[in-house]
Amino acid sequence: MSGTGDTSGGAALRAEGLTWHVGRGAQRRTVLADAALDAPVGTVTGLLGPNGSGKTTLLHLLAGLRRPSAGTVRIGDDDLHALRAGARARRVALVEQHAETGLDLRVRDVVALGRTPHRGRFAAPVDDDATVGGAMRFTDVDHLADRAWPTLSGGERQRVHLARAVAQEPEVLLLDEPTNHLDLGHQLDLLARVRALGVTAVAALHDLDLAAAHCDRLVVLDAGRVVAAGPAADVLTPDLVARVWGVRVDVTEVDGRVRVRWWGR
């Protein structure tokens, strides 16, 4: 049923008509309106949009953390919101944007949290340690296993969070701005690891050029609505970038790769 971490295994993720309101009466605001997203098995989808365009809300709905005001999310053939919390977490993992703790946890403990949905009430499956170890090796944090969380750098924390998500052995991996606070080398490194994992992935990103290089498909959100979706070459036009971000860009295609260069507002 679930993928095994470092080999390919995944399920298609398909969302339709996703809508999310906050507040009541005159205070009511629509954060997400009729959003659709189609992520085929094993692909990486980039979720783009300005601050406050609804990327995090969409990811949380795709993760099944909240029930949408309207719309459906299907993982494979199943309705995600009909699954029990534990079953859902065995199939979808989320790497949050700012996930911090005041607790003095070791890296190994944090990664082992990913096994939570696979554990019974009292006993842990016997292969847990091997899975946790494999996940730490996959994101290159195994040498940090006994380090305490507060002593880690931003890039190390991000890789530990990814290892935690890998240990969860999901079919779908959702990432909320995973490259924030990372230097360029670590940004490329992290996205390469997500790609190598082979599961269906949806990542909210800010860097258009980075997204174009690493994603099979892009979805652009603006003010809670999906304004474009498809391969980078179709989506990232100077016109669209000017309309959504208010930035002048050049888009070129070099050796089959879409490059985005900005000039100014």
Partner 1 sequence: MTYALGRGSVDVPADRVVAVVARRLGLGEHGVTLAEDQIVWQLRMPRVLAAAACGTVLALVGAVLQSLTRNDLADPYLLGISGGAAVGAVSVIVLGIGVGGLVGSAALALASFLGALGALVLVLLLAVGRGGTLDPTRTVLAGVAVGQAAAAYTSFLVMVHGDSHSADRVMRWTLGSIARVRTDDVAVLVGTALVTVVVVLACAGSLDAFAFGETGARSLGVDVTRLRWLLLAGSALVVSVLVAHVGAIGFVGLVVPHVARMVVGPGHRALLPTTAVAGAVLLVWADTGARTLVDGTEIPISVVTGIVGTPLFVWLLHRSRRRSMA
CA angle, residues 189, 190, 194, in degrees to nearest 5: 120
Least distance between partner 1 and beta carbon 167 (Å): 11
Contact flag: residue 57 with partner 1 (CB under 8 A): no
Q: Which two tokens stand for residue 255?
A: 């050796």
| Residues 155-194, mask of contacts with partner 1 (x by CB under 8 A) | -------------x--------------------------
Q: How far apart are CA 156 and CA 171, in angstroms?
A: 24
| Residues 223-262, mask of contacts with partner 1 (x by CB under 8 A) | ----------------------------------------
Q: At what angle do helices 154-167 and 184-197 cross, to 10 degrees?
A: 0
Q: How far apart are CA 37 and CA 17, in angstroms?
A: 9
Residue (105 or 223) nearer to partner 1, CB? 105
In terms of C-beta density within 10 A (0-12 exposed, 13-18 middle, 19 or more buried), how is residue 54 classed?
buried
8 A C-beta contact, residue 36 and residue 15: yes
Identify which range of 6-14, 86-94, 199-207, 255-263 contacts partner 1 by CB under 8 A.
Answer: 86-94
Contact flag: residue 25 with partner 1 (CB under 8 A): no
Residue (115 or 193) nearer to partner 1, CB? 115
Q: Using the rule CB under 8 A, which residue among 37, 63, 163, 240 binds partner 1?
A: 63
Gyration radius (Cα) of the chain, Å: 19
Residue (62 or 220) nearer to partner 1, CB? 62
Contact flag: residue 109 with partner 1 (CB under 8 A): yes
Determine how many CB atoms are found less than 10 A away from the CB of residue 13: 27
Least distance between partner 1 and beta carbon 84 (Å): 8
Residue with the two structure tokens 């005001």: 69
Q: Which two tokens stand for residue 179?
A: 């490259």
Contact residues for partner 1, defined by CB under 8 A: 60, 63, 65, 84-90, 92-94, 96, 99-106, 109-110, 113-114, 116-117, 119, 121-122, 168
